[in-house]
Amino acid sequence: MQSRIGFIVNPIAGMGGRVGLKGTDGVLKKAVELGAKPLAPKKAQEMLKEFVSNFSKNEGIKWFTCKGDMGSNELQNAGIKDIEIVYETADKNTSAEDTKKACKRFLDLDVDLILFCGGDGTARDIFEIVDNKIPILGIPSGVKMHSGAFGINTSATAKMLHEFVNKNLTIGDVEIMDLDEDLYRKGEWNIRLFGIAKGIVEPTYIQVGKSFYESVSDDEIKDELTEHIIDEIEQNNDYLYIFGPGGTIDYIARKMNVDNTLLGIDAVYKKKLVGKDINEKKILKLLDKYQNAKVILSPIGAQGFILGRGNLQLSPRVIKRIGVDNIIVISTPSKLVHTPVIRVDAGDKTLDKQFADLEYIMVVTGYRFSRVVKIQTNNF
Amino acid sequence: MKRNPNAFLNEEYGELVKKSLDWKLRILETGSTPHSVVDGKEVIMLCSNNYLNLSNHPRLIQAAIDASKKYGAGSGSVRPIAGTMKLHMEVEKRLAKFKGTESSLIYQTGFAANAGLIPQLAAKGDIIISDELNHGSIIDGVRLTKTDRAIYKHRNMVELEKALNNADKKYNRILIITDGVFSMDGDIAPMDKIVKLGSEYGAMTYVDDAHGEGVIGPDGRGIGAHFGIEGQIDVEMGTFSKAYGVVGGLIAGSQDLVNFAYNKSRTWLLSGSHPPAVAAAQLAAIDVLETEPEHVKNLWNNTNYFKKELKSMGFDTGDSETPITPVIVGESSIAKELSNLLFGEGVFALPIVFPMVARDKARIRTMMNAGLKREDLDFALEKFEKLGKKLDII
């Protein structure tokens, strides 16, 4: 069956980075003045050329795209002919509005996947329109690429697209993350978790025959993880459990009938919610009340951070109070395929050192099932 | 509507056929010999586990005939009731001596050993730490336990130590399980290091040496002998079904282990014991290994030659250290095609594809046989070279 792919390039993505700006959002003019050149069209072409020559030979794909540098130029330069232009910008200088309008068209056309080239800002603009209705895959080209929707590089993205078209990959959760601009303007650097989109991921396989495997859905894995966490909580009846953000932990909380938040930090005691969307101050207050606490975290974003991206509420003070030994990391195996290293940016040198000294951490990937995973910290 | 209790059988089988995931059984019209007739075609056999060609050895065949004549075709019972013959006891005694352990126990199959013993070795509150590439029978044995499980990266001792360190504080018993020779890549677990780590942390060590038994170590005495640590691995599990050329699983270790194992392994307790012919052939296999070193020598000579030639042709043979030599070709479809073409040319070797191995590491798995002659190997190599070029692999 033919795959229907929506393709969009944010031509100005990445321009800020070359001239030392933290993104191109709202500072394009300044970036151009500083000598920035468009980067995204080149990256997109690179990826498409690789895709056509090394992988699918572009068979069985119907491309929907935007006119000019927003898509059709790159496709044509890569030798892809069967394209349909579904959006054209009115202005020579494209903006976030153009990305959003084009995505509305992709939604109407019911494409199977949106392939985009840009950075975190572009991913956010797309997510704002398509939410989790259509899976997205990013060709990395921005300044900030914390979102989980990106391939590691152009060649990995080409391979992922090839596997997706050949139905070897499945659809799973990816985090949409970006710099919190409000805080940034106040001088604070905070990568926020904006939402959970659908992306393409490697399915989890279990051996059922001799050389025959069945792929297990992410939900089945999350059910197992839920059972594991319930066991854990029941065994430690006097512990407060801090639930980190993200799709996996949210799934577990919902299965436990805990009314938590997807993107925030919540606290659970004896399987009941005792703090919802709590900030550092409230967490510390809860830690005063409850003697023992553990925190459940899941890797977030393209780099697999468990701390320091999307959960700054879990400040060094909070983590020190809870203790590094009381961190439970959980992950679906498919997520670990994408980010085989767990990253930590604890926001405090001594704490980062503590993580660095661990070198490895046990990550729970199923019911009573864990694996050893390497830790990487920012400073060590 | 009344449910059809059997509908799923055909439906699920149909699904497998549709996805080409069903086993298409190849029928041998000869014995498992270096030159076999498979589906009517004469082929060089490169996918049997009969490494030493002992299944065709006159001493094994004669022993089986003699024992059948003397003791009959079957054993009459399970081992614990009335199915333990003097012959069974003799094999166990000789095997322990051969492997340099205090005692040993024969299971009906290797799978029965893993599926029967592993669940008894760890319970709730314990942990099993396992190499990520362990064989399916270990995985099934582990699935039958209520214990926690942790996985370390293939042969990665730093990760194993981290898992042990983490487990040390939290669990009662710790069991480390690994394949000895890994059946997909032909590489060997660093058993000396595993035993050392095990002893540091008070963890029990368990190795599935199915592909190492009769193959590695002096005279094919297995992985304990290979590393010079005979008797130090807590459970050395193996098989008579591969290099030994007969059938059956085995464990070798302390007398305590054997006493425990035969009282607690349900697979052992509840399956009929081996027929006298099988036990006698097992005994003869040990005899042959002890007195005719040329079989193991031939196997390794053949292996080294075949591997060297494949490499010089430009094939990627991975990290193999044993008579299992993978010919890594990349995409699954290429591996399948190469296997089919090889069969057409008279070389029988199976493809191993994703998700058995990584997506870009699909391969033909070749298994060497001591009974193959140099001209047989040259014949197979010539076909590999011709087809490798045809498919753009080399």
pLDDT of residue B14: 93
State the Cα–Cα distance between residues B179 and A284, nearest whole angstrom. Answer: 47
The answer to whether A372 contacts B352, with C-beta atoms less than 8 Å apart, is no
Note whether A223 and A122 are same-domain residues: no
Strand positions, DSSP E, chain B: 35-38, 41-45, 103-107, 127-131, 148-152, 174-179, 204-208, 235-239, 249-253, 324-330, 347-348, 350-352, 362-367
State the Cα–Cα distance between residues A167 and A371, nearest whole angstrom. Answer: 27
Say if A181 falls within a structural domain: yes
- Nearest by CB to B355, from A205, A368, A371: name it: A205
pLDDT of residue B49: 96
Q: How many domains does chain A have?
A: 2
CA distances (Å), origin A4, targets A7, A106, A201: 10, 10, 18
A236 touches chain B (CB under 8 A): no
pLDDT of residue B142: 85
The answer to whether B148 contacts A213, with C-beta atoms less than 8 Å apart, is no
pLDDT of residue A181: 74
Pick the catalytic residue from B57, B88, B211, B383. Answer: B211
- Nearest by CB to A212, from B21, B151, B160: name it: B21
The answer to whether the beta carbons of residues A162 and A51 sit under 8 Å apart is yes
Kindly tell me the burial class for residue A304, based on how many C-beta atoms sit within 10 Å of its own C-beta (0-12, 13-18, 19 or more).
buried
State the Cα–Cα distance between residues A208 and A223, nearest whole angstrom. Answer: 19
CA of B287 to nearest chain A CA: how many angstroms apart? 32
* Domain end marker among A201, A224, A250: A201
The one-character DSSP state at B72 is -
- Report which of B237, B50, B233, B220 is spatially closest to residue B137, judged by C-alpha positions: B237
pLDDT of residue A58: 65
Q: Does position B16 have pLDDT exceeding 90, yes or no? A: no
Say if A208 falls within a structural domain: no
Q: Name chain B contacts of A163, Cβ cutoff 8 Å.
A: 359
Note whether A171 and A245 are same-domain residues: no
Note whether A41 and A179 are same-domain residues: yes
pLDDT of residue B161: 97
pLDDT of residue A20: 66
Please, what sign has the CA dihedral across residues B250, B253, B258, B260? negative
A166 touches chain B (CB under 8 A): no
Note whether A141 and A26 are same-domain residues: yes
CA of B51 to nearest chain A CA: how many angstroms apart? 21
Which token pair is A331? 């992950």
Q: What is the DSSP string of A93-135?
A: S--HHHHHHHHHHHHHHT-SEEEEEE-HHHHHHHHHHHTTSS-
C-alpha A97 chain-centroid distance: 22
> Which three-class secondary structure state does DSSP give residue B330?
strand
CATH number at residue A51: 3.40.50
Q: Is the backbone peptide bond immediately before B355 cis, with ω within 30 degrees of 0?
A: yes
- Report which of B134, B128, B212 is spatially closest to residue B164, judged by C-alpha positions: B128
Note whether A194 and A227 are same-domain residues: no
CA distances (Å), origin B82, targets B79, B92, B269: 6, 17, 11
CA distances (Å), origin B262, targets A155, B106, B265, B266, B275: 55, 9, 6, 8, 18
Which token pair is A268? 């659970």
Q: Does position B282 have pLDDT exceeding 90, yes or no? A: yes
The answer to whether the beta carbons of residues B388 and B313 sit under 8 Å apart is yes
Residue recorded with tokens 């938590």: A260
A208 touches chain B (CB under 8 A): no
State the Cα–Cα distance between residues B254 and B307, nearest whole angstrom. Answer: 37
The answer to whether B151 contacts A360, with C-beta atoms less than 8 Å apart, is no
Q: What is the largest CA-CA distance in chain A?
A: 65
A212 touches chain B (CB under 8 A): yes
A235 touches chain B (CB under 8 A): no
Kindly tell me the burial class for residue B372, based on how many C-beta atoms sit within 10 Å of its own C-beta (0-12, 13-18, 19 or more).
buried
For residues A184 and B384, which has the higher predicted lDDT (pLDDT)? B384
Note whether A269 and A193 are same-domain residues: no
Note whether A196 and A331 are same-domain residues: no
The answer to whether the beta carbons of residues B145 and B193 sit under 8 Å apart is no
Pick the catalytic residue from B242, B295, B307, B383. Answer: B242
Note whether A222 and A196 are same-domain residues: no
State the Cα–Cα distance between residues B276 and A249, nearest whole angstrom. Answer: 58
Which token pair is B158? 């730093």
Q: Which domain, by its residues, includes A158?
A: 3-201
- What is the chain B residue with the closest CA to A371? B151
The answer to whether the beta carbons of residues B178 and B131 sit under 8 Å apart is yes
Measured at the CA of A128, the angle between CA A123 and CA A134, to 5 degrees, comes to 75
For residues B29 and A347, which has the higher predicted lDDT (pLDDT)? B29
pLDDT of residue A218: 85
Q: Which of A170, A204, A211 to mutate to test the interface with B (most CBs of B within 10 A)?
A: A211
* Domain end marker among A144, A175, A201: A201
Give the H/E segment covering residue A373.
strand A369-377
CB atoms within 10 A of CB A367: 17
pLDDT of residue B64: 98
Positions in chain A whose pLDDT score sits under 50: none
Q: What is the DSSP string of A24-41?
A: STT-HHHHHHTT----HH
Question: Could you tell me whether strands A170-179 and A136-140 are parallel, antiparallel, or unpaired per DSSP bridges?
Answer: unpaired
Q: Name chain A contacts of B162, Cβ cutoff 8 Å.
A: 359-360, 362, 372
* Domain end marker among A201, A236, A263: A201
On the CB side of A56, how many CA atoms lie within 13 Å of its CA? 23
Q: Does position B22 have pLDDT exceeding 90, yes or no? A: no
| For chain B, percent of residues with pLDDT exceeding 90 | 90
Cβ contacts from A onto B, under 8 A: 49
Note whether A116 and A223 are same-domain residues: no
State the Cα–Cα distance between residues A180 and A189, nearest whole angstrom. Answer: 7
- What is the chain A residue with the closest CA to B151? A371
Note whether A308 and A345 are same-domain residues: yes
Q: Which of residues 334-373 of B touch A (CB under 8 A)?
A: 352-353, 355-356, 359
CB atoms within 10 A of CB B157: 15
| Amino acid (one-letter) located at B201 | Y
- Report which of B235, B223, B252, B221 is spatially closest to residue B104, judged by C-alpha positions: B252
Note whether A184 and A223 are same-domain residues: no
Q: How many residues are recorded in chain B?
A: 394
The one-character DSSP state at B80 is T
State the Cα–Cα distance between residues B325 and B299, nearest whole angstrom. Answer: 13
Q: How confident is the model at residue B307 (pLDDT cuts 50, 70, 90)?
A: very high
Q: How confident is the model at residue B45 (pLDDT cuts 50, 70, 90)?
A: very high
State the Cα–Cα distance between residues B115 and B276, nearest whole angstrom. Answer: 24
Note whether A196 and A262 are same-domain residues: no
CA of B50 to nearest chain A CA: how many angstroms apart? 19
Torsion of Cα atoms, B331 then A156 then A78 then A145, to 10°: 170
Predicted ipTM? 0.84
| Amino acid (one-letter) located at A274 | V
Say if A272 falls within a structural domain: yes
Say if A209 falls within a structural domain: no
A29 touches chain B (CB under 8 A): no
The one-character DSSP state at A302 is T
State the Cα–Cα distance between residues A80 and A71, nearest whole angstrom. Answer: 11
User: What's the pTM value of the predicted model, to 2 decimals?
Assistant: 0.88
Q: How confident is the model at residue B194 (pLDDT cuts 50, 70, 90)?
A: very high
Say if A152 falls within a structural domain: yes
Q: Name chain B contacts of A370, Cβ cutoff 8 Å.
A: 148-151
The answer to whether the beta carbons of residues B176 and B348 sit under 8 Å apart is no
Pick the catalytic residue from B55, B183, B265, B332. Answer: B183
Say if A211 falls within a structural domain: no
State the Cα–Cα distance between residues A275 and A36, nearest whole angstrom. Answer: 46
Q: Is B312 a catalytic residue?
A: no
For B333-383, the pLDDT digits (tens) are: 899 999 999 999 999 999 998 888 888 899 999 999 999 999 999 999 999
- Nearest by CB to A368, from B148, B163, B352: name it: B148
C-alpha B281 chain-centroid distance: 19
Q: How confident is the model at residue B191 (pLDDT cuts 50, 70, 90)?
A: very high
Say if A210 falls within a structural domain: no
For B147-179, the pLDDT digits (tens) are: 999 999 999 999 999 999 999 989 999 999 999
State the Cα–Cα distance between residues B206 and B184, nearest whole angstrom. Answer: 19
The answer to whether A372 contacts B359, with C-beta atoms less than 8 Å apart, is no
pLDDT of residue A143: 75
What domains lie within chain B, and their CATH numbers? 23-51+293-390 (3.90.1150.10), 70-291 (3.40.640.10)
Q: Is B183 a catalytic residue?
A: yes
pLDDT of residue B5: 93
Q: Which of B135, B159, B161, B363 to mutate to test the interface with A (most CBs of A within 10 A)?
A: B159
Measured at the CA of A154, the angle between CA A56 and CA A339, to 5 degrees, comes to 105
For residues B47 and A189, which has the higher predicted lDDT (pLDDT)? B47
Residue recorded with tokens 């939410």: A131
Q: What is the DSSP string of B332-385?
A: HHHHHHHHHHHHHTTEE-EEE-TTTS-TT-EEEEEE--TT--HHHHHHHHHHHH
